[in-house]
Structure 1
Amino acid sequence: MGVALVWFRDDLRLDDHPALRAALDRGLVPVPVYIHAPDEEGAWAPGAASDAWRRRSLAALAEALAQRGSRLLMLHGPSLGTLQALAALTGAEAVLWNRRYEPHIEARDTRIKRQLRQAGLHAESFNGSLLFEPWEIETKQGDPYRVFTPFWKNALAQWRLRPLWEASARLPSPDQAGAPDGRHLDAIVPETRPDWDAGFWDEATPGEAGARARLQAFLAHGLEGYAQARDRMAVDGTSRLSAHLHFGEVSVQRVAAAVLAAEVPAPDRERFLAELGWREFAHHVMHHYPHVVDQDLDPRMADFRWARPLRTTLDAWERGRTGVPIIDAGMRQLWQTGWMHNRVRMIVASWVTKHLRLHWRHGARWFWDTLVDADLANNTQGWQWAAGTGADAAPYFRVFNPVSQAMKFDPQGEYIARWLPELAALPLPARFAPWEHPDLLRRLAPRYPRQPQVDLAQGRAAALEAFAALRAGREG
């Protein structure tokens, strides 16, 4: 039998895996290989939280392959040289993988594909991550979209569910191809220092089985009522599938098919599918405008007067010590769990880019290092949306009021009390804006900051003044 290297990347599953399926359909012995080469990812090498998740996901994939009679070869880069050496050792005739869409990785993979083909190997990539390839949806003029609603309307008109695929209970062994042993997981993604990520795993289980379990739990308990519950911070009203989707532990096709088949009110189903649509849109924008991972999509913001970042300001924000409870609760949740509720992400991002008037890159970098679901397209476009600099962005003059947002989406202050236990004794009005109740704050929460980093009204006014100055400069 012939041999194919199946190069696993951010597709750490077996079911609905196009590259693995292609190898098996062609009668080839698949040699599953993972190559750890973070230095090839440019300025956006994986952060610490991502690596913590990846380590457990790789272990789960290795176990799943072993149960099927196969095994995962875990190796270090460089990717091209490693693939070439492994192909020569095993006599592989093909190298198959599922595509990634980060600009630096796209360019690298293009070079790898070209050089493998020049060496006489069959090199082929597949869509294993998205409902649509980023280049498949375009305007009537043949241009990429910059606004979500028409993008998603067009996408829905073209959408056809693909057949799902289950991997066989037994897979051919790479030993048939003389594959080497590879390296131990500890040599690929070292274990984190004791207990650093312990809180991550209270509600999350990396790997394909964990992803399937989370999907089933969401279908059973979270999809009905999702349209309203998704914004409620204190309830388990979101799917919590973001990290599983980012690492490819479950296919987006499987998630979409399950949601479409669920017997729930149409608004709940449509609202969740639209969230998948935003994920598609972020990848669409990143593919067509690759500079957005570091620069504003809207060139008119290039001359905006951002504030100079002070380390003390960033430290207070990163540690959840801004003095604004909903901001600090979100930042504490992020640090302790590697995840933050989406509504809180928007409030936090608005605080950083509007009230503190810091460039979105500062926030995006911290999220990149601390989120287990850190995805380059979603992360940078989410921050640009909040900052008013990206595609279909909230206008810069839209400034979230963190107090009113907390009162609306955490009306009983439960989310705040959970992540800021030092404020749990405060009555509700004080829990949202403790600086307005100095006596209560001093008596019941003496260690919490007495004032916000910046006065809310003054911060908003300064942001609007800077935006007005930008407009005046353009029009002058």
Structure 2
Amino acid sequence: MEQKVSLCWFRRDLRLEDQAAFYYALRAGIPVVPVFVFDTNILNDLEDKQDRRLTFIHAVLEEMQEQLQQENSSLDVFYGTPEAAFAHWTSKYSVASVYANRDYEPYARSRDAAIEKQLRQKGISFHTYKDQVILEKNEVLKDNGEPYTIFTPYSKKWYDKLTFFYLKPYPCKKYIAHLHRQPSVKIPSLKEMGFVAGKQLFPSAALPEALIKHYDTTRDFPAINGTSRLGIHLRFGTISIRALMQHAMQLNATFAKELIWREFYQMILWHFPHVVGSSFKREYDKIAWRNNTVEFERWCKGETGYPIVDAGMRELNTTGYMHNRVRMITASFLTKHLLIDWRWGEAYFAAKLLDYDLAANNGGWQWAAGSGCDAAPYFRVFNPTLQTQKFDKDLQYIRKWVPEFEGFDYVKPVVLHEEARKRALEVYGKALKKA
């Protein structure tokens, strides 16, 4: 009789230690086959055939494969739709059950529901676990059972709820002998999938402890190496949020708070999935955006005539990263100064950011536009000049990315700050009065 196996489906949890689904799959005692899908439902929408994130994922999978080969095991990687992947795997192996970690994005939820149904029809159980956040869904609610929409009370309740139980690591190595033994299965190359490997040095997954200790005083200055750069590792799960939070709580309360913001936005996405295409505060959908395509193009290229904005956009276009303070400045500029729909900017960041995460990106853009939960009020319009004086007063960041900004050949401002601010207040005020 053919040996029964379990499949552990890796998604945004690309590591072999302290990984919830992998731990529970191994502990169950049935030989475990780690699997991954290069999902064409997602990949077919990527316009950039040199998408750096794909290069990152591919490199991480190859590292995981090397680790698994040392255990005489292998990842089984499929290129296609998840439905086709599971049709393939359930014919290749005698599958008893499938293990995966929960993903809270709308596409992921519908995908998982479809796969669970497909597996159930074959008598295969589907088990999901919490892994990418410490507290999920309904674990942090108001006393009346409703979800929070303001961060500060949410974070207080989050801390009240937290015990070591939630931060405890999953000791996968303890059960690693329960992996299914098989020869290495070839991972499809980027070229076979129609992509080109991007030349990119990715940030280290090692926690920069000395940097984190001073995070609260350095994080707002884009010319300083003052942020962790761990976003891409959190996004794809190459580090454990539990391990990171334990370090954060010991090292710097401000850094820990940023990690809780990440959980807050995941919770908002779960309870209010309409934020994906609409404003959290519905009345903000009545704003009469100008949506000038020429001005949008100038913003995308970093040619607005506002050096701090242009520096941020050029950093993003060149590296796939943008400093968090500058993300706020560029987003405010697009939505307030140019009166361009926040969804345009959100989509541009989604295409370019290495650490793109739907919940955080959406939350950040709606915060800047004033339309989100716990957002900046609409009449708060960042002044790029004042932001520069506060956070890049020696112009180091600007000089790096916009070397021509002091010369005659630097572009003229696309709009004047005071005029743009006045126009934004009028347009926002008009729309919200109607509501």
Aligned pair in 2 of structure 1 residues 469, 44: CA closer, same or farther (>3 Å)?
Answer: farther
Aligned counterpart, 2:190: 186
Aligned pair in 2 of structure 1 residues 10, 411: CA closer, same or farther (>3 Å)?
Answer: same
Aligned counterpart, 1:393: 375
Structure 1 gap ranges (5+): 263-268, 424-440
Alignment of 1:288-299 (within 5 A): 288-299=271-282
Aligned counterpart, 2:424: 463
Aligned pair in 2 of structure 1 residues 301, 279: CA closer, same or farther (>3 Å)?
Answer: same
**AA of the residue aligned to 1:8:** F
Aligned counterpart, 2:433: 472
Alignment of 1:158-169 (within 5 A): 158-161=161-164, 162-168=167-173
Aligned counterpart, 1:39: 41
Residue 411, structure 1, aligned to residue 414, structure 2: no
User: TM-score, structure 2 length as denominator?
Assistant: 0.92
Contact kept? 2:75, 2:184, Cα under 8 Å: no
- The structural deviation recorded for 1:245 is 0.2
SS at match of 2:35: strand
Percent of pairs with identical residues:
35
Aligned counterpart, 1:265: none
Alignment of 1:310-325 (within 5 A): 310=293, 312-325=294-307
Aligned residues: 429
**AA of the residue aligned to 2:371:** T
2:93 to 90, 94, 110: 90
Aligned counterpart, 1:431: none
Aligned counterpart, 1:121: 124
Residue 71, structure 1, aligned to residue 74, structure 2: yes
SS at match of 2:292: coil
- The structural deviation recorded for 1:68 is 3.6
1:81 to 84, 96, 121: 84
Deviation sequence 1:91-110 (CA, Å, 0-9, x none): 12111111111112112202
Alignment of 1:145-156 (within 5 A): 145-156=148-159
Distance (Å, rounded) in 1 between the aligned partners of 2:130 and 2:43? 20
Aligned counterpart, 2:224: 235
CA RMSD of aligned residues (A): 2.3
SS at match of 1:307: coil
Aligned pair in 2 of structure 1 residues 42, 101: CA closer, same or farther (>3 Å)?
Answer: farther
Residue 249, structure 1, aligned to residue 238, structure 2: yes
Deviation sequence 1:433-464 (CA, Å, 0-9, x none): xxxxxxxx4xxx23311x21111111111001
Aligned counterpart, 2:25: 23
Deviation sequence 1:245-290 (CA, Å, 0-9, x none): 000101110101122344xxxxxx2111110111001111111111
Structure 2 gap ranges (5+): none
Aligned counterpart, 1:50: 53
Aligned pair in 2 of structure 1 residues 58, 110: CA closer, same or farther (>3 Å)?
Answer: same
Aligned counterpart, 2:316: 334
Contact kept? 1:36, 1:188, Cα under 8 Å: no
Aligned counterpart, 2:292: 309
**AA of the residue aligned to 1:327:** V
Contact kept? 2:310, 2:402, Cα under 8 Å: yes
Aligned counterpart, 2:115: 112
2:348 to 342, 366, 370: 366
Deviation sequence 1:292-318 (CA, Å, 0-9, x none): 0111010111211111331x2122111
- The structural deviation recorded for 1:10 is 1.1
- The structural deviation recorded for 1:378 is 0.5
Distance (Å, rounded) in 2 between the aligned partners of 1:46 and 1:94? 36
Aligned pair in 2 of structure 1 residues 279, 416: CA closer, same or farther (>3 Å)?
Answer: same
- The structural deviation recorded for 1:390 is 0.8
Distance (Å, rounded) in 1 between the aligned partners of 2:246 and 2:298? 43
Contact kept? 2:79, 2:193, Cα under 8 Å: no
Aligned pair in 2 of structure 1 residues 256, 188: CA closer, same or farther (>3 Å)?
Answer: farther
Distance (Å, rounded) in 1 between the aligned partners of 2:142 and 2:46? 30
Contact kept? 1:10, 1:246, Cα under 8 Å: yes
**AA of the residue aligned to 2:327:** R
